[in-house]
Amino acid sequence: MSGTVDPVVARDDRYFWEGVAQRRLLIQRCTQCGVLRHPPAPMCGSCGSLEWDAQQASGRGRVLTWILSHHPNHPDVPARVVVLVELDEGVRLVSNLVDVPNDDPYAEYDDLGVMVDFREHDGVLLPVFAPVVAG
């Protein structure tokens, strides 16, 4: 085997992680027809164009569905709430829900309003979502 393909950050999603490093949530946008897409892909699913740029998302969205994820190798580590978030811009992404009790068997997060935040985990900055506190 040869080559220098990075197993974590592929070419198509490099912009996404560069945005995260700057605490910006970037979404890929087709420059031909304007459709937003996530996860990143080389070709527009709507018009087939290979031309794209990235737009900064508002970071606001709501929880479409979620699961409580227990780490298979570290039973003592608190479970994480894994969510599928639909951003106000209409694209969906999988992330973690933070700042909620994660040991409540009756927890209910469907349709919860959330806002992106960036938290460091094992030395890597990751996009996560926190509940929007109504004020």
Which positions touch Zn ion (CB under 5 A)? 30, 32-33, 35, 44, 46-47, 49
- Provide the 10 A C-beta neighbour count for residue 2: 4
**Which residue, chain included where needed, has tokens 């979404």?**
27
**Which residue, chain included where needed, has tokens 């951003």?**
87
Residue with Cβ nearer Zn ion (49 or 55): 49
CB of 55 to Zn ion, least distance (A): 13
CB of 121 to Zn ion, least distance (A): 34
Q: Which of 115, 116, 118, 117 has its CA nearest to residue 134?
A: 115
CB of 48 to Zn ion, least distance (A): 7
